[in-house]
Structure 1
Amino acid sequence: MPTRHLYLLRHGAADVWGELTDAGERQSHLAGRRLAALPIDAVWHSPLPRAVRCARIIGTHLPGATVRQAPELADHVPHVPAELPPEWAPFFDGYDAEEAAAGERQAAALTARFARPTATETHEVLVTHAYPVAWLVRHALDAPPARWLGLNCGNTALTAIDYRDGTAPTVLLYNDMGHLPPELRWTGFNAGTHP
């Protein structure tokens, strides 16, 4: 049975202008080296500069893979709960109904394009942002829409999901940073204790 193997990565660490930092470039090279052992067909990336640069770096380690943009991978808020958890209320302050509807359309386009089986065996890397990764994991687990909240991921952390016809998606890895040395792990998270 053909399997669509998706390897999701949040872009490397970026500065306040959205460009990869030196650490983000290192993270991207290390992610590319890890993925080089796999038969990657394509690297898809968000249109935002930090994801574009990260994908291009990863692509240098995957000579047989195409590197292309996918607008569905742009950074977006995929779902605004009707009843906000109190700790999330400040985050959603200012989101109006139109923005929430646009985010839901973007999330639907993301899952329609990538969260499904394909006719042939494929291995695809998606270089995107924390929220689309969270949304795809939530979708694969068939969790309620609000469960994307709090599913953060580190810069270039690897998440892997398999899609096959007739079966539920399989989340194989989530937020795996094994390819990163300790000083490059847990970037993209708030300060705090991490395992």
Structure 2
Amino acid sequence: MATRHLYVVRHGAADPFGELTEAGRRQSHLLGERLACLPIDVIWHSPLPRAVRSAQVMGDQLPGVPVREAVELVDHVPYVPEHPPAAWAGFFDGYDAAEAAAGARSAEALISRFARPADVETHEVLVTHAYPVAWLVRHALDAPPVRWLELNCGNAALTVIEHRSGLAPTLVLYNDMGHLPPDLRWTGFGATVRP
């Protein structure tokens, strides 16, 4: 039975303009080194600069592996709850129906392209953003749509999801930062304890 192995990663740390910082380059390099022992077929990345550059840095550690853009990996809000949790009320304030519908279409395109089995064994790296990582994990767990809000993804953290025909997806690993030294383990979402 063929397995589609997805190595889903959030881009490295970036500045307010979306360019990788020195820490983001180090994170991406270390993640590339970790992936180098695997039979990676392709690195897909979001069209946004922080993901593009992260994929390029990882690709430097994986000679011969193609690095390609996938618009489905672009940063987006995949689901807007009708009644957001109080902690998220400010985030969704002013979000209109058109924006919510566009996010839902992007989420469906992401799932349709990547969250399904392949005809042959594949090993694909997806360099994306925190929200699409959370959406793919939520989908793999068949959790209610609102649960994506509770998944906080670290910069250059590794999540592994496997898809096989006729079976539910398997979440093998979530948000693993073992390849990063403590000073590079961060979610990018405010001050917090770094594991």
TM class by shorter chain equals over 0.9
Matched position secondary structure for 2:150: coil
Q: Which amino acid aligns with 2:149?
A: L
Aligned residues: 195
Percent of paired sites with the same residue = 72
Question: Paired residue for 2:26?
Answer: 26
The corresponding residue for 1:82 is 82
**Would you say the 8 A contact 1:41–1:65 is kept in 2?**
yes
TM-score (structure 2 length as normaliser): 0.98
Partner Cα distance (1:119, 1:94) in 2: 43
> Secondary structure of 1:175's match?
strand
SS in 2 for 1:149: helix
1:55-98 CA distance string (max 9 Å, x none):
01101111131100000000000000011111110010121000
1:159 match: 159
State the SS of the aligned residue for 1:172: strand
Tell me, yes or no, if the aligned pair for 1:5 and 1:162 is still in contact at 8 Å: yes
Which segment drifts farther, 129-138 or 57-66?
57-66
**What residue number does 1:49 align with?**
49
**Unmatched tracts of structure 2, length 5 or more:** none
SS in 2 for 1:142: coil
Regions of 4+ moved over 3 Å: none
1:137 maps to what in 2? 137
1:99 maps to a residue whose letter is E
CA-to-aligned-CA distance 1:105-131 (integer Å, 9 cap, x gap): 000000000000000000000000000
Query: Equivalents in 1 of 2:192, 2:12: separation in Å?
Result: 20
Within 5 Å, give how 1:11-22 maps onto structure 2: 11-22=11-22
Residue 187 of structure 1 deviates from its aligned partner by 4.1
Q: How does 1:90-109 map to 2 (within 5 A)?
A: 90-109=90-109
How far the C-alpha of 1:193 sits from its partner, in A, is 2.8
- Give 1:26 shift: 0.4
**Are 1:5 and 1:160, in contact at CA under 8 Å, matched by a contact in 2?**
yes
Match of 2:71 in 1: 71
Structure 1 unaligned residues grouped into runs of 5+: none
Letter in 1 for 2:44: W
State the 1:185 CA deviation: 0.5
Distance 1:109 1:176 in 2: 26
Matched residue of 1:111: which SS? helix
TM-fit CA distance, 1:191: 1.1
- CA distance in structure 2 between the partners assigned to 1:79 and 1:62 by the alignment: 34
Q: What corresponds to 1:119 in structure 2?
A: 119
Distance across 1 between alignment mates of 2:90 and 2:8: 28
**Residue type of the alignment partner of 1:22:** E
What is the alpha-carbon root mean square deviation over aligned residues? 0.8
The residue number in structure 1 matching 2:175 is 175
Q: State the match for 1:37 in structure 2.
A: 37
